[in-house]
Structure 1
């Protein structure tokens, strides 16, 4: 994700489209009632030699005890504050999900959510980790669902990071979404790294756009996002996949000044930012999230295997 502040961490997600009833609460109640009937699952299940290390299926009523819920301003935007009360578990699309919902508080201020896993991981030599999340990005205008691509100024993300002395122990952005209606929204992966705290040596040179044929509205808006982080004979590789298709591969030779071997243990992060500190990137006067933009996360899993 773009870094507009020395000590920023980062941000990113994806979406779907439907219609509902006349007001948001009624629409969500209707969705919850119908979802309980058709409880489909997109949970990531990996067979041997993969061994599960971490999982959260976000069962409704969960206290999200495996996560830390942030209460602070966003590092990259003047316009977004994170509230610990925002991340909740809900029935959505027949799934028990994490929901992160934006709310407009005033002309230039939005409330949103940011969670970081208490679990951390990093590959030892000759091992590989697979981090997966099933995510949907969607907006709501009153009681009507809208595509994420119809909004402007939303910045959801799914990423992993070691926040201590950022970015000396690295950051891996699996998905960052940027909504720019009426122009095309875009989705990217990215890597950040530096040798001193607060000094990212890569800029955005590691940013990789998703393929042009990526359809955020496909598969009812649900997409599988994955990070494969491995060390084979002390050579580190990070591969980002969406719906089982590789969108980017990183090694130390991919970007000048990158040293994946120096990355520390990473926590998992999910959040929805709004706006930016760079008005040339996201114009605060154009922000339009309708009633809300929401990130729904069906599950998060981490598996490990020897290689």
Structure 2
């Protein structure tokens, strides 16, 4: 998510942490389901995967497993995160995390960001699977609009170690950029450096989602996954969309990347608006109608030996 060079001085600021997970007990899944492509948003959950973390955002639950940000986005002076924004709502008949935007003025939007108190990274000969079902949607008054009809929205699902960023890395599973009337863009990305505040990869690790990706398919719901493994001290990160591989990263796939120095990471969901780089997102063109929303049905982390 942190891709604009202007933010590097701010990135060393660590967010506070709230209490630990409501569900610390590990749980072994025994049912067998698959993550085949073609918009199947079921998750792999069969043994030998063991659940490490879960939040289903059921109505009536709290966000006590998360820290809610209260600050301006590092990438955009136009977006302020308010801790009151992330909430649990019923959407499409499901209990969901909802992060929604509100226009405060011609140059300022309010939105939300949450970061898990839970952290993870693979030990040698283990693999972690982080996954979330997410829907992006807009509203114009009482009428729903496609995310692809908006301009200037920047939602993301990612994991990171913010302390001394990017020395312990960042994994962007999904970053979305709305550019209507032009086509919206979705990518994965990695960030890494050997000194605090200095990303030595630039955007050389950015990988576009397939051009065939239909955001509005499957009623807008899609499964976004990160598989992070270490096998005989060789680290691999694989990003999947609805069960199909988007990108695979190893140390040899990106110059100056060292995945062995990554972690431990927290999980982040946020919905940014605009950019400090007006050539990237023109602030004069921002159009979110009444609001843009990110709905997250669930998020899980599983672990297995490999």
Do the structures match in fold with TM over 0.5? yes
Cα shift at 1:61: 2.3
Q: Write the mapping of 1:222-237 to structure 2, written as runs, cut at 5 A.
A: 222-237=221-236
Asked if 1:271 corresponds to 2:270, the answer is: yes
- 8 A Cα contact 1:158 1:173, kept in partner: yes
Q: Which residue of 1 aligns with 2:27?
A: none
Cα RMSD (Å): 1.2
d(CA) in 1 for partners of 2:61 and 2:70? Answer: 19
Question: 3-state DSSP class of the match of 1:121?
Answer: coil
Cα distance change of structure 1 residues 184 and 280 upon mapping to structure 2, 3 Å threshold: same
Question: 3-state DSSP class of the match of 2:218?
Answer: helix
Q: Give the stretch that moved more between structures: 45-54 or 95-104.
A: 45-54
Flag structure 2 segments of 5+ consecutive residues without an equivalent. Answer: 12-40
Q: Which residue of 2 aligns with 1:198?
A: 197
TM-score, structure 2 normalization: 0.89
Q: Write the mapping of 1:41-60 to structure 2, written as runs, cut at 5 A.
A: 44=43, 46-60=45-59
- 8 A Cα contact 1:113 1:272, kept in partner: yes
Cα distance change of structure 1 residues 203 and 290 upon mapping to structure 2, 3 Å threshold: same
d(CA) in 1 for partners of 2:9 and 2:242? Answer: 32
Cα shift at 1:44: 3.3
- 8 A Cα contact 2:4 2:276, kept in partner: no
d(CA) in 1 for partners of 2:184 and 2:117? Answer: 31
Q: Which residue of 2 aligns with 1:219?
A: 218
Asked if 1:97 corresponds to 2:96, the answer is: yes
Question: 3-state DSSP class of the match of 1:200?
Answer: coil
Q: Which residue of 1 aligns with 2:20?
A: none
d(CA) in 2 for partners of 1:230 and 1:168? Answer: 19
- 8 A Cα contact 1:7 1:166, kept in partner: no
* Higher RCO by CA contacts (8 Å cutoff, separation 6 or greater): 1
Cα shift at 1:6: 1.0
d(CA) in 2 for partners of 1:105 and 1:63? Answer: 26
Cα distance change of structure 1 residues 45 and 208 upon mapping to structure 2, 3 Å threshold: closer
Q: Which residue of 2 aligns with 1:123?
A: 122
d(CA) in 1 for partners of 2:235 and 2:9? Answer: 25
Cα shift at 1:165: 0.2
- 8 A Cα contact 1:208 1:248, kept in partner: yes
d(CA) in 1 for partners of 2:212 and 2:46? Answer: 30
Q: Write the mapping of 1:1-307 to structure 2, written as runs, cut at 5 A.
A: 1=1, 2-4=3-5, 5-7=7-9, 44=43, 46-307=45-306
Cα shift at 1:231: 0.1
Structure 1 segments, 4+ long, off by >4 Å, are none
- 8 A Cα contact 2:54 2:298, kept in partner: yes
Question: 3-state DSSP class of the match of 1:55?
Answer: strand
Question: 3-state DSSP class of the match of 1:285?
Answer: helix
- 8 A Cα contact 1:8 1:76, kept in partner: no
Question: 3-state DSSP class of the match of 2:124?
Answer: coil
Question: 3-state DSSP class of the match of 1:249?
Answer: strand
d(CA) in 1 for partners of 2:183 and 2:58? Answer: 34
TM-score, structure 1 normalization: 0.88
Flag structure 1 segments of 5+ consecutive residues without an equivalent. Answer: 10-41
d(CA) in 2 for partners of 1:185 and 1:44? Answer: 26
- 8 A Cα contact 1:73 1:81, kept in partner: yes
d(CA) in 2 for partners of 1:214 and 1:277? Answer: 28
Cα shift at 1:243: 0.1
